[in-house]
Structure 1
């Protein structure tokens, strides 16, 4: 029986161990998609307790606790203490065997706090106090300090076009050696399902852009001004959270009329909604192409399924799930529209339903044009898939249907400053996958090919992202 989570955790062969320890472990981290709160980086936030940094906003843990019968007040409530919430999480942890949360919990305890003990009800108080002592008395245990601890080079936050980016500027002006760059996330500019909310957003957009908005083209002009501003602040990526790809046929007259209708407070039909979203995706794609950005598409989630809890807690609180959409034709049509216009920029596609792995992996090859290695990317296992099984399936599909060697690798997609061990988790999984192939005689590992494999591991962990995004 192997010991739990030793130095060769997840590394099943000597070759996998060599690949990880000599070529993956020491590579810097480029976290090109995350949800860190920029103000916390700007302020070099000092955390009040392990509960704040670990359980505050972590809907992964909340879902597990709810499933374990923990009342909501210990997840998101305001009438419970930090210790009471932590205690309930500690009681839940032994029930998370085979869930990635078990691994992540102990990787974070080990790498951030130097704690090798397993978290359970018997060790909870000791670990709680040890973590809190380190957070209070170790000056490196701050937002910036943790980024340094994990050898982070660049992070890209997720930001609305109306955001002032004041904290990004503050971080840049402070001389902090780690880059924090914004990412353009214009989902609200497409959210025409609620006319009142859409109008309020457009009015805010008009205010921050200085463009008076009375018609569709005015909104596009305002968004372009904000796009230019984001670029001036170092932005190099956009990101879109969509249920499915939108590629309905439309005319400009139709889009103008649809904008006037929804801006005037009238409900749109499903067909009108799809046409408007289709037009906006093209507009955004062309903006990104002109700026040389990379566009990212996270698709396939059904969000806010529990209407009762949505009204109580709002979005991103653990009530989302994998959706089932038929998107291949619309995805292809959208990419082909931009490609036909000569305006298809670098693109990363993330699916949430694993049944689409092969769809994505084969879609890539349709639009690679030789201008950039790996121009169209299959994004790493996302959300419910950013665990060992999901990562392996994503990399296997990419390997057999594309070029794993050109993959830009892992990201945290997290709000937590303790999530960087997910890069370690990914790197160990990658090295084990390739190491097993070598041990099985499926990949050569001598001479030129040994150097190529070593370089491939380093590239996927860091170099590919560095060269692709050009931060």
Structure 2
């Protein structure tokens, strides 16, 4: 039976001289704390120290990276726990068998690196996933997560997490964040993130009821555009008072542009009446986004923008199982013209900061790096989602560094619901950046001292600066 072993030099350069430099750089940053300023781990896990139920609900069901490739292989999403009310013990075991039987599908993907790192580094398992080893791996994980050392809080400490951010609805009461803040036994830091997307899409069927709820929670009448703005200001202040450091925005395009007051009120009235067109809804949404930028310049919350996804591409899957099940597909995007009104208004404001993320790699060198290389408020977000993979990380550094340098980037963003994969994701980034810097040392573009300092910055200083931590 094949033994699962993690090579100590994995992802480091193959050339011996460069690899030696990469090893030294990686050794210097390998054990630095994890800063995770954008992700989707439920705060209740840490607030209530919720026990993990079974290997499938922990490692497969919440991770769309894992189950989307199973779906591509013909696996039914409910068979791996997606969209249902939970799996029975036998169904959970069978889902893990399905994953292991399809393990070949993950070759060449970052999922293989993350999952194998979890098996070896977290669970101490040396079995290669396969149909024959599925039950043994499942039983070993199940026994381990039942121990006191594998509660979410214990793992938070074991992973040496300095900060982890959640993603939260503007109307959330943040009860779990309050519980953590009031708990004298809790010494970590969990920050809420203000995610208002649904409230900025006035042509969608649910928008009016959402805005009504916004009025109830904020205590501000949202019958007018001005009222909507005031209600958003109210909720942003609530989030900031409870530790938020950023807001998160994802729409079909990156355009952020204002409307004059009269036109904004006219379109808002049409939206409230349910008569707004899709085109008008997009226009109003871009004005909503401009208001979010104006608020960011006032309250100091960092804006993160990651536009251009075709959400819920397969309508039957969305109808059956809802959003966030791996059916979002990247689109091409344009930034320079789209964000010009926002940056003209706020780009040099001392309190304004924005991080641009993209899955369209063509804009890195053409638009994002030049923007970050001029505006003191602009940072280029790390590769995320479909491109948080080794080759894409190298392409990102090559495309961005020559124009924006290293300091205008965000630090690594794990963007995950899969809590146990966080160390592996950050480890991949540290290995790749160590290799990139090693090449610059070998090419005599950086001294070893400069590379060592930069490697440390990319792990610690860059995310602290970009997110004002």
TM-score (norm 1): 0.92
Q: 4+ residue runs of structure 1 moved beyond 6 angstroms?
A: none
Is 1:299 the equivalent of 2:310? no
Matches within 5 A, 1:17-166: 17-21=23-27, 23-75=28-80, 76=82, 81-136=91-146, 138-166=147-175
The answer to whether the Cα contact below 8 Å between 2:438 and 2:451 also exists between their aligned partners in 1 is no
| Local SS of the residue matching 1:299 | coil
**Cα deviations across residues 355-407 of structure 1 (Å, max 9, x unaligned)?**
22212112222323xxxxxx411100011011111111111112112111443
- 1:401 maps to 403
Distance (whole Å) between structure 2 residues aligned to residue 406 and residue 422 of structure 1: 21
- 2:16 maps to none
- Alignment gaps of 5+ in structure 2: 14-18
Identify the match of residue 430 of structure 2 among 416, 422, 427.
427
Matches within 5 A, 1:175-324: 175=184, 176-194=186-204, 196-248=205-257, 250-270=259-279, 272-324=280-332
- Alignment gaps of 5+ in structure 1: 369-374
Work out the number of aligned pairs and report it.
Answer: 453
| Local SS of the residue matching 1:239 | strand
TM-score (norm 2): 0.92
Label 1:79 to 1:406 Cα distance change in 2 as closer, same or farther (>3 A): closer
| Local SS of the residue matching 1:250 | coil
Give 1:452 shift. Answer: 2.4
Give 1:273 shift. Answer: 1.8
Aligned-pair Cα RMSD in Å: 1.8
Distance (whole Å) between structure 1 residues aligned to residue 468 and residue 225 of structure 2: 33
- 2:10 maps to 9
The answer to whether the Cα contact below 8 Å between 1:64 and 1:92 also exists between their aligned partners in 2 is no
Distance (whole Å) between structure 1 residues aligned to residue 72 and residue 430 of structure 2: 29
| Local SS of the residue matching 1:26 | coil
- 1:462 maps to 460
Give 1:4 shift. Answer: 5.7
The answer to whether the Cα contact below 8 Å between 1:106 and 1:116 also exists between their aligned partners in 2 is no
**Cα deviations across residues 146-194 of structure 1 (Å, max 9, x unaligned)?**
2211110101111111110110010111131110011111112211122
The answer to whether the Cα contact below 8 Å between 2:199 and 2:210 also exists between their aligned partners in 1 is yes
| Local SS of the residue matching 2:357 | strand
Give 1:319 shift. Answer: 0.7
The answer to whether the Cα contact below 8 Å between 2:170 and 2:236 also exists between their aligned partners in 1 is yes
| Local SS of the residue matching 2:58 | helix
Label 1:304 to 1:343 Cα distance change in 2 as closer, same or farther (>3 A): farther
Label 1:211 to 1:248 Cα distance change in 2 as closer, same or farther (>3 A): closer
Distance (whole Å) between structure 1 residues aligned to residue 158 and residue 151 of structure 2: 10
Label 1:180 to 1:246 Cα distance change in 2 as closer, same or farther (>3 A): same
| Local SS of the residue matching 2:306 | strand
**Cα deviations across residues 213-248 of structure 1 (Å, max 9, x unaligned)?**
221111111111111111110111111012211245
Identify the match of residue 391 of structure 1 among 393, 397, 413.
393
Distance (whole Å) between structure 1 residues aligned to residue 257 and residue 452 of structure 2: 45
